[in-house]
Amino acid sequence: MNNKIILGIIGVIIVAGVAVLAFRSGNTPQVVNNGGVYCSSDGTLTDTMPIQSHRSYCIKSNADATSFAPNSPTIFKYSIIDDQGNILKDLDVVHEKLMHFIVVRKDLANFQHVHPEFEPTTGEFTLSNLTLPTDGEYRLFADFTPTASQTDPNGDKLPVTIYQDVRVGSLANYKPQPIGSTEKSKKFDGYQITLIPNSASIVSGSAIGFDFEIKKDGKLVTNLEKYLGALGHTVVLRDGDLQFIHAHATQKLTDPQTGKVHFAITFPEAGSYKLFSQFQNEGKIITSNFVVNVLEGQGGDAGATGGGMMTH
Q: What is the pLDDT of residues 36-90, one digit of tens each?
A: 899 998 889 999 999 888 889 999 999 999 999 999 999 999 999 999 999 999 9
Q: Is residue 238 part of a domain?
A: yes
Whether 144 and 72 share a structural domain: yes
Same domain for 143 and 112: yes
Residue 25 domain flag: no
The domain boundary residue, chosen from 149, 172, 195: 172
Is 281 within a domain?
Answer: yes
User: Could you tell me if 79 and 204 lie in one domain?
Assistant: no
Task: Give yes or no: residues 151 and 74 share one domain.
Answer: yes
Average pLDDT, 10 consecutive residues per value, the chain (312 residues): 43 36 36 71 90 90 94 97 95 96 97 97 97 97 94 90 96 94 97 96 96 98 97 97 96 96 97 98 97 85 38 31
What pLDDT is recorded for position 7? Answer: 41
CA distances from 173 to 42, 65, 109, 112, 167 (A): 31, 22, 15, 21, 12
Same domain, 266 and 293: yes
Q: Domains in the chain: how many in total?
A: 2
- The answer to whether residue 14 sits within a structural domain is no
Residue 252's pLDDT is 94
Based on the domain organization, do 192 and 165 belong to the same domain? no
Q: Distance (Å, rounded) from C-alpha 213 to C-alpha 220?
A: 8
Q: Do the domain assignments include residue 179?
A: no
Domain span holding position 229: 185-305
pLDDT digits (tens, 9 = 90+) for 150-185: 888 888 899 999 999 999 999 999 999 999 999 999
CA 198 to mean position of chain CA atoms: 27
Does one domain contain both 265 and 166? no
- Mean pLDDT, the chain, whole residue set: 87
263 part of a folded domain: yes
Burial class (CB in 10 A: 0-12, 13-18, 19+), 244: buried
Task: Tell me the pTM.
Answer: 0.84
Q: What is the CATH number of the domain that holds 235?
A: 2.60.40.1930
Determine, yes or no, domain membership for 234: yes
* 111 half-sphere exposure, CB direction, 13 A CA radius: 20
Give the type of residue at 19. Answer: A
Residues 152 and 236 in one domain: no
Q: Which of 118, 151, 172 is the last residue of a domain?
A: 172
pLDDT for the residue 5: 42
Same domain for 281 and 202: yes
Point out the domain boundary residue: 121, 144, 172: 172
Q: Are residues 55 and 134 in the same domain?
A: yes
Considering the domain architecture, whether residues 165 and 196 belong to the same structural domain is answered as: no
Say which CATH number the domain at 64 has. 2.60.40.1220
Q: Are residues 168 and 190 in the same domain?
A: no
pLDDT at 142: 98
